[in-house]
Amino acid sequence: MTGTDFFASLASGSKANCYVIKTADTVLLIDAGLSFRKTSTRLMSLGLTPDMIDAVVITHEHCDHTAGLPMLAKNINAPVYMTEACYLSYIRSKGFDLRNRITQIGTQKEIRVKSSVIETFSVPHDSADCIALKISSGSQCYGICTDTPVPPPPDFFHGCSAVAVESNYDPEMLKCGSYPENLKYRIMSRCGHMSNDGAAMYAAELGNRGCLRIMLCHLSLENNTPEIARRTVGSRYRGELLCAAPDSVTLCAGNLSDTHFSKSQEKETQTKEITPTKLTAEARERLLPC
Ligand SMILES: [Zn+2]
Ligand SMILES: [Zn+2]
């Protein structure tokens, strides 16, 4: 393993969510919405293998965050962390065989993995529990907050150089779109998702606290585009902005050596924001937010 630190999204959106944070001595996987095969391929494109993972942290039990967890847990020995409410909901509905593999996050709401400290903050969402995360190791500090329109107080992410912030939908596109009314209501509710406008206000607050880079995440394929999300958030946030691709790697922070990339892996890996053309093609698939 090299000493290079980075924070990357392996997938982000209503289909699958998975992030990796590599520090000097720790590899953390946040959420496991991708298949084991895709997770492995995308980790390899970053110079990692699944057996290097030191811990998996699940933000909440929705399928776009846990679909790949059973196979992942079978193939690696690392602990899987969830809050108690998330654990109970998950094992009741689909993860019974994993009950001995999951470690519940204690009341201190903090996880220590080697030199990394992961702080959690419960946020409203239509799941049993949903957490935002702040990951600190040495001088590096990153944040992740998706699947909620009510993020933690901005001070929670104090010291983070880069934060993944949900920017799920453009309100006009959602209102005029083809989703059923009850689903529109659910998405816009306090237990739904963050709009571009919400992300813009939040990003501005994070920018005021020194956050240099925001990766917009969990963009709806139906009710948003990277262009609109970037324009809306960029109107209030002056730092670096990028959009996480729905189904490929997006490097949010850190540097990768060219030696990490093989030709075949390069196709799988996207370190720039997704193009509107690609998103429009994918938007033909009708995907409901999970
Ligand atoms: Zn969710
Ligand atoms: Zn989700």
Helices (H) and strands (E) in the chain, counts: 10, 14
> What mean pLDDT do residues 72-95 have?
93
Cβ atoms of 164 and 215 within 8 Å: the answer is yes
Going by C-beta distance under 8 Å and a sequence separation of 6 or more, which residues neighbour residue 146? 12, 17, 59, 164, 165, 166, 194, 217, 218
C-alpha span between 119 and 109 (Å, rounded):
6
pLDDT over 80 (residue 289): no
Between 2 and 284, whose confidence is greater?
Answer: 2
Between 114 and 264, whose confidence is greater?
Answer: 114
> What mean pLDDT do residues 209-236 have?
97
Distance from the CA of 246 to the center of ligand 1, in angstroms?
15
Q: Give me the pLDDT at residue 260, please.
A: 46
> What mean pLDDT do residues 242-252 have?
96
Distance from the CA of 279 to the center of ligand 2, in angstroms?
18
**Which has the closest alpha carbon to 123: 146, 151, 104?**
151
Distance from the CA of 63 to the center of ligand 1, in angstroms?
8
pLDDT over 70 (residue 177): yes
Distance from the CA of 15 to the center of ligand 1, in angstroms?
11
> What mean pLDDT do residues 131-143 have?
95
Domain boundaries 6-282, corresponding CATH code: 3.60.15.10
3-state secondary structure of 28: strand
Between 99 and 115, whose confidence is greater?
Answer: 115
- Bridge partners, 144 (sequence order): 133, 164
The pocket of ion ligand 2, defined by CB under 5 A, consists of 64, 147
Q: Give me the pLDDT at residue 256, please.
A: 67
* Ligand nearest the Cα atom of residue 14: 2
> pLDDT grade, residue 96 (50/70/90)?
confident
Distance from the CA of 166 to the center of ligand 2, in angstroms?
9
The pocket of ion ligand 1, defined by CB under 5 A, consists of 62, 147
Which is it for the CA torsion 282, 245, 262, 113, positive or negative?
negative
> pLDDT grade, residue 277 (50/70/90)?
very low
Distance from the CA of 64 to the center of ligand 2, in angstroms?
5
Distance from the CA of 260 to the center of ligand 2, in angstroms?
29
Other CB atoms within 10 Å distance of the CB of residue 255: 8
First-to-last alpha carbon distance for the chain, in angstroms, is 35
Q: Give me the pLDDT at residue 109, please.
A: 85
90-94, 144-148, 162-166, 170-174: least confident range = 90-94
Distance from the CA of 13 to the center of ligand 2, in angstroms?
6
Residue that is written with structure tokens 């895709």 in the block: 38
Distance from the CA of 264 to the center of ligand 1, in angstroms?
32
Going by C-beta distance under 8 Å and a sequence separation of 6 or more, which residues neighbour residue 208? 154
> What mean pLDDT do residues 41-57 have?
97
Distance from the CA of 284 to the center of ligand 1, in angstroms?
21
How many Å separate Cα 116 from the centre of its chain? 18
C-alpha span between 161 and 262 (Å, rounded):
29
| E-only strand ranges, the chain | 6-11, 18-22, 27-30, 55-57, 80-82, 102-104, 110-113, 116-122, 131-137, 140-145, 162-166, 213-217, 240-243, 250-254
Distance from the CA of 261 to the center of ligand 2, in angstroms?
29
Buried b (16+ CB within 10 A) or exposed e, 75-93: ebebbbbbbebbbbbbbee
> pLDDT grade, residue 139 (50/70/90)?
confident
Q: Give me the pLDDT at residue 257, please.
A: 57
Cβ atoms of 102 and 83 within 8 Å: the answer is no
**Whole-structure pTM value:** 0.88
C-alpha span between 213 and 142 (Å, rounded):
10
Q: In the chain, where are the structural domains located?
A: 6-282
**To 10 degrees, the CA torsion angle through 27, 32, 207, 160?**
-20
54-58, 221-225, 226-230, 262-266: least confident range = 262-266
> pLDDT grade, residue 271 (50/70/90)?
very low
pLDDT over 60 (residue 281): no
Q: Give me the pLDDT at residue 280, please.
A: 34
Distance from the CA of 130 to the center of ligand 2, in angstroms?
10
Give me 46's structure tokens.
């970053």
